[in-house]
Structure 1
């Protein structure tokens, strides 16, 4: 971890040097320039390169942020309300380093910059999050910056699609499961098979049920058909899940 008194400019320049060494190797290793098309899917946090000869590449990504050529501002992914939390959550480590070292550039969500700011913040994120490469795409007056954390197989890519759900409130996030009663503000209790933490990206199949469902489960001795029917499990996104959990535990 970087000392509190380290100079930001020195740290930034070192990260840029590291990225300048890493990026050509990444581009060469995966032959990125031979892929004519690219797609990114915020709902699952996966980037897809596609070639006309049928080749495909998939990467798990972190949405670092965007630079606006209209306002000359840098907007971190974690500060952008249109960016799902699960594709920017790893940036919390970058913010922590910024807080420890008093690096305002890493803790301010939106600030003035120039054409080099995007690559500088991407380089720092790549360094701190052990990225294997980075990529920049144009979008209207914006340049959007990504870092890739690992390659995905086609099977892993398809599995990700099964683990995420579209959400009207939070765009998209991992699927979670709650009993029908927890969607009602009058329900009491929040029971889980294991303790969950919103700061952990890969919580496995978050599940919760209210106290009334717990009474039925205990009476039945397990999750019998009767208990399952009573619970009438609903699918929600992870963010909705933890919003419900916070409200119920405060009640």
Structure 2
């Protein structure tokens, strides 16, 4: 179930996220650092070059995709994640409940088009729009899925 306005709203969210991520790429070269590490206990994503941290981002977790499960799992439904990085995902769930949008309120979401990568970015874009975040980052996972991070702040280190 979803309201009539939601598909166009989500398409706009995807366009907005693409523009935000393009800006972060231009301003901070995200996606081009030789290394990145995220720490869920501190809610930080660190981009490094030659063992020196260059860019620091404050993060929340939107959710994750799993090729094995063939689905998206919202961060708020993942008991393995620390509560400190779930507040934005919980806002998304509340928005979904208020507006009767099933894909924002169901723990697991399956993609009708069978493209988990696209689904992950679409749902993350909705989260970024709802939470007025700066952008998002995708971290690949070993079993063919990915962890989608919401970027709350981004700054140069030091």
Task: Confirm whether residue 148 of structure 1 aligns to residue 146 of structure 2.
Answer: no
Partner Cα distance (2:136, 2:69) in 1: 24
Larger CA Rg, structure 1 vs 2: 1
Q: How many residues align?
A: 152
Relative CO higher for 1 or 2, CA cutoff 8 Å, sep ≥ 6? 2
Q: 1:50 to 1:61 in 2, by over 3 A?
A: same
Q: Which structure is higher in strand share? A: 2
Structure 1 residue matching 2:80: 3-state secondary structure: coil
Unaligned runs of 5+ in 1: 156-251
Residue of structure 2 in register with 1:102 after alignment: 100
Unaligned runs of 5+ in 2: none
Residue of structure 2 in register with 1:88 after alignment: 86
Displacement of 1:58 after TM fit?
A: 0.8
Q: 1:8 to 1:49 in 2, by over 3 A?
A: same
Residue of structure 2 in register with 1:117 after alignment: 119
Partner Cα distance (1:154, 1:21) in 2: 23
Q: Is the Cα–Cα contact under 8 Å of residues 61 and 88 in structure 2 kept in the other structure?
A: no
Residue of structure 1 in register with 2:131 after alignment: 129
Q: Is the Cα–Cα contact under 8 Å of residues 6 and 101 in structure 1 kept in the other structure?
A: no
Residue of structure 2 in register with 1:225 after alignment: none
Q: Is the Cα–Cα contact under 8 Å of residues 46 and 53 in structure 2 kept in the other structure?
A: no
Runs of 4 or more above 6 Å deviation: none
* TM-score, normalised relative to structure 1: 0.57
* TM-score, normalised relative to structure 2: 0.88
Q: Is the Cα–Cα contact under 8 Å of residues 124 and 148 in structure 2 kept in the other structure?
A: yes
Q: Is the Cα–Cα contact under 8 Å of residues 53 and 157 in structure 2 kept in the other structure?
A: no
